[in-house]
Amino acid sequence: MSAYSRLVFCTACTALVIISCMAAGCNSLPAPSATTTPPAFAGGGNSITIKNFAFDPPALTVKAGTVVTWVNNDQAPHALASDTGSPAAFLSDTLSPGASFTFTFTRPGTYPYHCSIHPSMKGTILVQ
């Protein structure tokens, strides 16, 4: 195969790929702009995402002994403070965007908490 015919062949291939992609609606190809950050703690547990100044999910039910992970996917720093316990059942340092915090809930009960930076942010962990 000459260099020229290779070039023609490759161009034809590329055109075919583009045409078949258009026909298929490009559904099989990932969007190049979709750069998702993998969660810091993937799977095997229960995680709460902090975004848009809210906890998602705001209420989480877990079994005693569960490690709960909060991941700050927001643009702003947040910090977690338990409403119950003295001292607080759990208390995090300030979580910068991208940071995470884990706490193991060993005893059944209801654990309301809030963001100590933004007190209007509230969530609850129900431990069974």
53-92 mask for Cu ion (x: CB under 5 A)?
A: -------------------------x--------------
Q: Tell me the closest approach of the beta carbon of residue 24 to Cu ion, in angstroms.
A: 43
Binding piece for Cu ion, criterion CB under 5 A, among 11-19, 59-67, 90-98, 112-120: 112-120
Q: Tell me the closest approach of the beta carbon of residue 92 to Cu ion, in angstroms.
A: 11
- Pair 49, 40: CB distance under 8 Å: no
- Complex with Cu ion: residue 40 or 109, whichever CB lies closer: 40
- Pair 92, 79: CB distance under 8 Å: yes
Strand ordering across the sheet containing 100-105: 54-56, 46-51, 66-72, 100-105
Under rule CB under 5 A, residue 99 binds Cu ion: no
Under rule CB under 5 A, residue 117 binds Cu ion: yes
Q: Tell me the closest approach of the beta carbon of residue 55 to Cu ion, in angstroms.
A: 9
Q: Could you say which DSSP state residue 110 is in?
A: E
Under rule CB under 5 A, residue 115 binds Cu ion: yes
Under rule CB under 5 A, residue 118 binds Cu ion: yes
Burial environment of residue 32 by CB neighbours within 10 A (0 to 12, 13 to 18, 19 or more) = exposed
How many alpha carbons fall within 13 Å on the CB side of residue 26?
Answer: 6
Helix (H) or strand (E) holding 55: strand 54-56
Residues that bind Cu ion (CB under 5 A): 78, 115, 117-118, 121
